[in-house]
Amino acid sequence: MGENDVIRLIHYETEVDEYGDTHTIPVSREVFAECLSIGQSEFYQAAATGLRPELRFKLSDYYDYDGEQIVEHDGNRYRVLRTYRSGQELELTVYQEANPA
């Protein structure tokens, strides 16, 4: 933890095929991010509301994020719980779903 890594940001788009059927397809891209642990107070505050944050990813430029709700890291998929911008940097707090999309 605490070192630069590559994460995959994923969102879903709707596509209509030649027969008029609608399909949802994942669209992803890779960005560099620093993987950080969740602070103890942040963990307990979120747990009090039923949420279980697991990791934070710090992006050096908030322009690298475009509202994606899924983050993939080390073969695991996480859902974005919240974002926090500080200057040019952006932190994504994520949690792992029991049945990810």
Confidence at 42, pLDDT banded by 50, 70, 90: low
Confidence at 29, pLDDT banded by 50, 70, 90: very high
DSSP letter at 91 equals: E
- Cα separation, 92 vs 80, in Å, equals 6
Which range marks the domain in which residue 75 is found? 4-95
Q: Give a yes or no: residue 100 inside a domain.
A: no
How buried is residue 89: exposed, middle or buried, by Cβ count under 10 Å (0-12/13-18/19+)?
middle
Q: Give a yes or no: residue 75 inside a domain.
A: yes
Residue 51: C-alpha distances to residues 22, 26, 59, 84, 100 (Å): 33, 25, 22, 17, 15
Q: Which residues pair with 10 in a beta bridge?
A: 28, 70
Question: What values do phi and psi take at 60, rounded to 5?
Answer: -70, -20
Type of residue numbered 90: L
- Cα separation, 66 vs 97, in Å, equals 21
CA atoms within 13 A on the CB side of 40: 0
Q: What is the CATH number of the domain that holds 29?
A: 2.40.10.270
Does the pLDDT of residue 24 top 80, yes or no? yes
Q: Give a yes or no: residue 101 inside a domain.
A: no
pTM of the model: 0.78
